[in-house]
A and B are shown apart, each in its own frame.
Chain A
Amino acid sequence: MNLNATLVAQIVVFFILAWFTMKFVWPPIMKALDERATKIADGLAAAERGKQSLDLASKRSAETLREGKEKVAEVLAQAEKRALHIIEAATVQARLEADKVVAGAKAEIEQEAARVRESLRERVAELAVAGAEKILRREVDAKVHADMLASIKQDL
């Protein structure tokens, strides 16, 4: 319990140790702590940003999906309309074609009928002439009475 120069030695040691800690121990640890705090703050901010961009992206994707659905519906409607149109056009075309074919056939039939009628007429005239010839063998000369025969043919 006596005092001596140890006290002075202790004072010197005290200041040397404190100086050493101030110079070499404290600053690196404090720097690391501050840097880590900055890193954590940055990380939190980045996470926040990520969350925001995720929200944005999901909103955008929903928008795109909706647009796509709308477009699909539109295209479908258009295609249906187009199909109806095509069917209608084809129907009309077919009817026209049918009419044309029917008309062609009718004309042909009529033509044939006319031709048959003509040939019949000629045959009838010939038969009439032949009959008359037989009846009027002497009196009637085909050449002389050609005009008359022609008018009879016309009347048939």
Chain B
Amino acid sequence: MVTGHEAAANAPNAGEYVVHHLTQLNTTGHVQSSIVDFGIINLDTVFFSLLMGVLGLFLMMRVVREVTSGVPGRGQAALEVLIEMVANQAKSIVHSEQSRKFVAPLALTVFVWVFLMNSMDFLPVDLLPWMWQTLTGNPHAYLRVVPTADLNGTLGMSVSVLLLCFWYNIKIKGLGGWVHELFTAPFGNHPLLYIPNFLMQMIEFLAKTVSHGMRLFGNMYAGELLFMLIALMGAAYGGSAGLTGPLLWIGHVIAGTGWALFHIFIVVLQAFIFMMLTLVYIGQAHEGH
């Protein structure tokens, strides 16, 4: 009984466990207090997104180095299927051959990168944080391993897409043409409508970008959270009396398996949606209102 009390005092309760897991490892070493602070960088997000990006490029480069126009190997066939899929989507959405030279590879990068970053969710939720805590010797060290479950990661990408939209708007329509469009569309070319038009355009850009980033973030954040709750259910096994313990353990196995399987689908789907929206928004930048 005594040891049980001590363990309960030392072990974090469910709320602490979740909050701890959802705290980024940033340059300050403690929880960011203000909502927006550009003096801080989340080291874990930067590290894992870079790692996944480099891993994706490395895997693709391995295929590219042995690429052949003859009979393709399995790796090449797989990459070709992926590239054909992306190229066809790009062709049907972005109607500019010149732009596609950059936009299509960009869409491929986005898909592969987001897919790999989302896939970090498949690792046991406590594995990498535990390794990190062991490595640093600090049992309270923070670490979040899914870069797309960090709003900075997803908004960073959606803002990049927004910047590309600005770039292609200016490139295709000219600066004057674009400014003209900003004030005359979508309601019409009338001096009274200039302000509503411009406000509408701004809202549109903002809504696109925020929803683009938030959609992916929300899905991955919720997925991560659910994995933590499932892990908590399994962890409660030790402290429960009677049948409750084994039932919790079985619940952990069933829920963990089910959610992991479903999450495979979410990971791919969200990567695909992110890629498609990237193409759609850039495609819209090519078309007049």
Contact = CB atoms under 8 A, between A and B. Distances in A.
B245 interface: no
Q: B interface, by DSSP: helix, strand, loop or mixed? A: helix
A21 B84 contact: no
Contacts of B110: 18
B70 A36 contact: yes
Contact of A18 (B35, B70, B102): B102
B60 A4 contact: no
B108 A10 contact: no
Contact of B159 (A1, A7, A29, A31): A7
Nearest to B69: A35
Interface string B36-48: 1111111001100
A14 B38 contact: no
Contacts of A26: 83, 104-105, 108
A9 B61 CA distance: 23
Contacts of A13: 46, 49-50, 53, 156
A13 B154 CA distance: 12
Contacts of B150: 6
Contacts of B45: 6, 10
Contacts, number: 138
A21 B57 contact: yes
Given A4-B39, A10-B49, A21-B57, 6 more contacts: A4-B40, A8-B38, A10-B160, A11-B157, A18-B106, A24-B57
A25 interface: yes
Contacts of A33: 69, 80, 83-84
A105 B182 CA distance: 140
Which of under 10, 10 to 19, 20 to 34, or 35 or more describes the interface residues of B? 35 or more
Contacts of B24: 6
A92 B108 CA distance: 103
Nearest to A23: B105
Contacts of A25: 57, 60-61, 64, 105, 108
B32 interface: yes
Interface in A21-58: 21-22, 24-26, 28-33, 35-36, 39
A5 interface: yes
Contacts of A36: 69-70, 72
B83 A6 contact: no
Given A10-B156, A24-B64, A32-B69, A2 B57 contact: no
A30 B87 contact: yes
A3 to B, nearest CB: 5
B13 interface: no
16 contacts: A2-B32, A3-B37, A4-B37, A6-B41, A6-B153, A10-B152, A11-B157, A13-B50, A18-B110, A22-B102, A22-B106, A24-B61, A24-B64, A25-B108, A30-B87, A32-B72
A8 B108 CA distance: 21
Contacts of B76: 29, 32
Contact of B152 (A6, A18, A39): A6
Contacts of B46: 6, 9-10, 13
A63 to B, nearest CB: 41
B155 interface: yes
A150 B197 CA distance: 173
